[in-house]
Structure 1
Amino acid sequence: MTRVDVVHEVWQRVYAVQPAPPSNVVLGAAVVALVLVLWSPAWSLTRHVVTIAHEGAHGVAAVLTGRRLSGIRLHSDTSGLTASRGRPRGPGMVLTLAAGYVGPGLVGLGAAALLGAGHAVGLLWGLLLLLALLLLQIRNFFGLWSVLVSGAVVFAVSWFLPTQAQSAFAYLVTWFLLLAAPKTVAELQVQRSRGAGAGSDADQLARLTHLPGLAWVGTFLLVTVGALLLGGSWILV
């Protein structure tokens, strides 16, 4: 297969419309995603996916608000750090900080919209593109490994598996992002209640805006739960 043939094949897959899978597949994907979120041994691994989306959202917000992105680090304890240059205060910094916890839920919401339009395979290729762009900003070995492994899994599913399996995987990823986003917000508040959240996004936002950190946690929760309810309704129609 020539390079032109490969490009044509990818283009066809990205824009192809797939029928929605049977309802048992959609609900089964939701159940598996829920297990990946609620079962602690699984969550200790799958939470890295949420961290990738979280830090990626910080990075996108920084670029869109005119800040200069310096790099992203992902750590083995599922934490991360996105560094950017620009004014230390102001709307750009506020939006950059606020994007992290709502990012996974909003990505899940966008994914649900694509699934509703029948673009399950296109969604996977879109995720692969986002991972490739994120890879350019990674500045540590564990982060590089995390993004490469995630990208390899998405590519393998997108290229080698039959369409039905690709569609099921796309639903699984979407449900996972929608369900995982509120849990990370709840974890944030648990850490804050134990006095371990002084450097959290919510507390940094509190210092920048003079709104209580709890108000920011509530905002994160409202957005992520809203994304879950709206995205879920789009998927289950």
Structure 2
Amino acid sequence: MLLDLWDRATTTQPPLTWPVSLLLGVVALALTWSPAGYRLVRHLVTLVHEAGHALVAALVGRRLTGIRLHSDTSGVTVSRGRPRGPGMVATVLAGYPAPALVGLAGAYLLGAGYAAGLLWGLVLTCALMLVLIRNLYGLWVVLATGASVALLSWSVSGRMLSAVAYLVVWSLLLAAPRSVVELQRQRRRRGGRGSDADQLARLTGLPAGLWIVAFWLVCAVCLVLGVRELTQGLG
């Protein structure tokens, strides 16, 4: 069983042609910019966002105590350690760029033919997050995401597997900058004093708006580089 999983995860598939990839990009664009579609994609973005917080918190030596994912597509990752300093700044900073960076890394993996590896990596991420989830809704989101991707990765053909992986990567790349725009809108409407940008402002003394610009620039650069990788051969 484990050998079969390893074989599936490491088997390579030829990258999709740029017209097919671009078509999947259009589908992902329609998803991320429609209310119902964005809400669905936003759950995946939030999952990766919180995984980014958790990974960096662990890397800088903070002790993770739990992750919560909520039905309004928000989330929170709680860790213990020094309340200020570079480690705390890095932990808070990691969230919004994470989906864009994962999307960009995914684009390069797809270019190398590792569509299956990308999807099984997402399954592994969900499995690791299960031990940190502290609410029922978050548990449902992680289980549903991991199980759905695992089922697809195990059962569909290589070309369909590639299509699913491309759609996931396109969705992450396109939704990441939109989530930053939504952050700014929420701050204008509600004040947003608990947002990542506002936490960074308190930690560093730099304005929250500057951190939002930084988030958006990272997401925009990843989108440009990711699109270039996903549409190789265009023009």
Paired residue for 1:156?
A: 151
Equivalences for residues 83-102 of structure 1 within 5 A: 83-102=78-97
Q: Percent identity?
A: 55
**Which string of whole-angstrom CA distances, capped at 9 and with x for unpartnered residues, describes residues 52-108 of structure 1?**
111111111100111000000000011111000000000010011011111110111
The correspondence for 2:191, drawn from 178, 196, 200, is: 196
Unaligned runs of 5+ in 2: none
Equivalences for residues 74-153 of structure 1 within 5 A: 74-153=69-148
In the TM superposition, residue 35 of structure 1 has moved relative to its aligned partner by 1.0
Paired residue for 1:3?
A: none
In the TM superposition, residue 235 of structure 1 has moved relative to its aligned partner by 1.4
Paired residue for 1:72?
A: 67
The correspondence for 1:32, drawn from 16, 27, 37, is: 27
Q: Secondary structure at the match of 2:96?
A: helix
Q: Secondary structure at the match of 2:169?
A: helix
Paired residue for 1:48?
A: 43
**Which string of whole-angstrom CA distances, capped at 9 and with x for unpartnered residues, describes residues 109-143 of structure 1?**
11111111111111111111111111111010000
The correspondence for 2:3, drawn from 5, 8, 24, is: 8
Equivalences for residues 202-213 of structure 1 within 5 A: 202-213=197-208
Contact residue 41 and residue 175 of structure 2 kept, 8 A: no
Runs of 4+ in 1 over 4 A off after TM superposition: none
Task: Give the stretch that moved more between structures: 114-123 or 169-178.
Answer: 114-123
Q: Distance in 1 between matches of 2:39 and 2:226?
A: 25
**Which string of whole-angstrom CA distances, capped at 9 and with x for unpartnered residues, describes residues 168-203 of structure 1?**
000000000000000000011111122431110000
Q: How many residues matched?
A: 232
Q: Residue type of the partner of 2:59?
A: L
Task: Give the stretch that moved more between structures: 159-168 or 11-20.
Answer: 11-20
Q: Residue type of the partner of 2:197?
A: A
TM-score scaled by length of structure 2: 0.96
Compute the RMSD of aligned alpha carbons.
Answer: 1.0
Q: Distance in 2 between matches of 1:124 and 1:39?
A: 24
TM-score scaled by length of structure 1: 0.95
Contact residue 15 and residue 112 of structure 2 kept, 8 A: no
